[in-house]
């Protein structure tokens, strides 16, 4: 178009920038940016927003922020585009700063922040953001919002808040959405209320492959492998074809229930009958299945014969199985592989150190201690959540005494004292 002597307009450059965003073509986006400056097309917010999105998707968030700051006219989409860019690269501090500075907000930035926190493994912050959103009194909650909130509730077992969201879903007539029902099932299953998840499943008028898979995953979470197999058989009888995620769920169920033969049959059926190519998650389930059954050498051979490189989770799974079944030599191999793939994993160093001490290999144990010191490996403190009166409280193992942790600590100390009086052994540190 340029070669033909035609002058681009806002719509043509926005479309070109969108193409550069989708294909991760940074150089092309920079060329279009040059054309925008040359033809003075940057006055409309739509052009600036497209530039921000293009730079963010290509990893140049600093350039995106520069474009944002130079824009003469900004709309709510401009702020949201920059916010999404920071979230895309897990810069939650900058994203929150942009969010707090926004002159106005609709459901999109609220949902973006909630979803970002949940996906970024900070569910408590996501749930706090949802409560703040509701406190402002604006009816801005969408299907995407409630699904993200339910996912956060599932991650930390915030059952009371999850139930409140369920009531809100019914009040807003969002319960007919399949995605919402799947999120509800997942939340109830992970919060210990499998019966409620089943009730939602059987009340659904239409069920897709994700509904069946969520139910199978719920049974797997509760270690009910035979129920999971019954569900997948019912799913096949209903004419629904399982996908890769379905097989991950049912293989996980077999693993947790120790159903080795059934798991092997399902894995072979997935490949031979359904023609699905196993992914790293499927191989991980099989290694876990073999490890739990004590077939450690077979699990090791299985890993070595995989057509794809095993990830750190597969080696961790083998390491755990070796420790359970007392195979210290194989545990040493698995531990070394974990350190090679993830050198900052504090837990593996401690496990190897204990392995060497158990085997009376003092020199090797000392070598691991030196590695921990030289690499400045620090043990990550354990983190727990307690839901009290609908409020999520988060505290770490190394935290100092403060409210509301003080109250929890006093209660636990009281339980400990009573247990000692009863002759039981319970220590609270």
- Whole-model pTM: value is 0.73
Q: Give the mean model confidence (pLDDT) for residues 230-235.
A: 94
HEC secondary structure over the chain: CCCCCCCCCHHHHHHHHHHHHHCCCHHHHHHHHHHHHHCCCCCCHHHHHHHHHHHHHCCCHHHHHHHHHHCCCCCHHHHHHHHHHHHHCCCHHHHHHHHHHCCCCCHHHHHHHHHHHHHCCCHHHHHHHHHHHHHCCCCCCCHHHHHHHHHHHHHHCCHHHHHHHHHHHHHCCCCCCHHHHHHHHHHHHHCCCHHHHHHHHHHCCCCCHHHHHHHHHHHHHCCCHHHHHHHHHHHHHCCCCCCHHHHHHHHHHHHHHCCHHHHHHHHHHHHHCCCCCCCHHHHHHHHHHHHHCCCHHHHHHHHHCCCCCCCHHHHHHHHHHHHHHCCHHHHHHHHHHHHHHCCCCHHHHHHHHHHHHHCCCHHHHHHHHHHHHHCCCCCCCCEEEEEECCEEEEEECCCCCCCCHHHHHHHHHHHHHHHHHCCCCCCCC
Reported as a pLDDT band with limits 50, 70 and 90, residue 428 is very low
Q: What is the pLDDT of residues 48-62, one digit of tens each?
A: 999 999 999 999 999
The gap from C-alpha 101 to its chain's centroid, in whole angstroms, comes to 28
Tokens of 234: 């019912």
**Percentage of the chain lying above the pLDDT 70 cut:** 89
Looking up tokens 């058989």 gives: 233
Provide the pLDDT for residue 27.
Answer: 95
Residue 194 has pLDDT above 70, yes or no: yes
Q: What is the pLDDT of residues 152-192, one digit of tens each?
A: 888 888 888 889 889 988 888 887 889 999 999 999 999 88
Mean pLDDT for all residues in the chain: 86
Provide the pLDDT for residue 217.
Answer: 94
Residue 296 has pLDDT above 50, yes or no: yes
Q: What is the pLDDT of residues 369-427, one digit of tens each?
A: 877 777 766 666 666 666 665 566 666 655 554 555 566 667 777 787 776 665 544 44
Q: What is the pLDDT of residues 72-111, one digit of tens each?
A: 889 999 999 999 999 999 899 999 999 999 998 888 899 8
Question: Mean pLDDT: which of 253-267, 351-365, 372-386, 406-420 is highest?
Answer: 253-267
Residue 245 has pLDDT above 90, yes or no: yes
Provide the pLDDT for residue 133.
Answer: 86
Of 339 and 183, the structure prediction assigns the larger pLDDT to 183
Reported as a pLDDT band with limits 50, 70 and 90, residue 242 is very high
Provide the pLDDT for residue 429.
Answer: 41
Tokens of 72: 């003469």
Provide the pLDDT for residue 136.
Answer: 78
Query: Which among 79, 88, 75, 68 is positioned nearest to 110, based on CA atoms?
Result: 79
Question: Distance between CA 193 and CA 354 in Å, rounded?
Answer: 37
Provide the pLDDT for residue 343.
Answer: 79
Of 151 and 403, the structure prediction assigns the larger pLDDT to 151
């Amino acid at each position: 178009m340029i070669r033909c002597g035609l002058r681009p307009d806002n719509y043509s450059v926005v479309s070109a920038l969108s193409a550069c965003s989708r294909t991760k073509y940074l150089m092309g986006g920079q060329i279009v940016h040059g054309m925008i400056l040359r033809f003075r097309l940057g006055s409309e917010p739509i052009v600036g927003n497209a530039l921000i999105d293009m730079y963010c998707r290509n990893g140049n968030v600093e350039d995106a922020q520069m474009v944002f700051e130079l824009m003469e006219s900004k709309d709510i989409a401009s702020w949201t585009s920059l916010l999404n860019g920071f979230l895309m690269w897990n810069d939650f501090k900058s994203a929150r700063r942009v969010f707090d500075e926004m002159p106005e907000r609709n459901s999109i930035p609220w949902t973006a922040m909630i979803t970002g926190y949940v996906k970024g493994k900070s569910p408590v912050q996501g749930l706090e953001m949802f409560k703040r959103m509701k406190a402002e009194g604006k009816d801005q909650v969408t299907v995407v919002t409630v699904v993200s909130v339910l996912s956060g509730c599932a991650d930390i077992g915030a059952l009371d808040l999850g139930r409140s969201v369920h009531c809100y879903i019914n009040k807003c007539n969002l319960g007919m959405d399949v995605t919402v029902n799947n999120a509800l099932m997942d939340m109830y299953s992970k919060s210990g209320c499998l019966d409620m998840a089943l009730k939602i499943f059987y009340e659904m008028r239409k069920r897709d492959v994700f509904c069946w898979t969520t139910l199978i995953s719920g049974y797997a979470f509760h270690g009910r492998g035979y129920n999971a197999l019954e569900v997948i058989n019912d799913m096949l009888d209903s004419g629904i074809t399982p996908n890769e995620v379905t097989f991950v769920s049912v293989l996980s169920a077999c693993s947790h229930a120790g159903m080795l033969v059934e798991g092997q049959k399902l894995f072979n059926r997935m490949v031979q009958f359904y023609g699905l190519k196993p992914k790293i998650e499927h191989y991980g389930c099989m290694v876990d299945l073999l490890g739990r059954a004590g077939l450690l050498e077979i699990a090791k051979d299985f890993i070595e014969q995989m057509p794809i490189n095993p990830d750190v989770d597969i080696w961790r799974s083998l390491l755990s199985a070796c420790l359970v079944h007392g195979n210290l030599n194989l545990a040493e191999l698995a531990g070394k592989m974990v350190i090679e793939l993830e050198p900052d994993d504090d837990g593996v160093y401690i496990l190897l150190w204990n392995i060497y001490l158990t085997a009376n290999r003092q020199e090797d144990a000392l070598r691991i201690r030196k590695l921990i010191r030289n690499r400045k490996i620090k043990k990550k403190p354990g983190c727990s959540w307690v839901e009290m009166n609908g409020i999520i409280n988060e505290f770490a193992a190394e935290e100092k005494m403060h409210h509301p942790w003080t109250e929890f600590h006093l209660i636990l100390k009281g339980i400990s004292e009573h247990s000692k009086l009863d002759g039981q052994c319970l220590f609270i540190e």
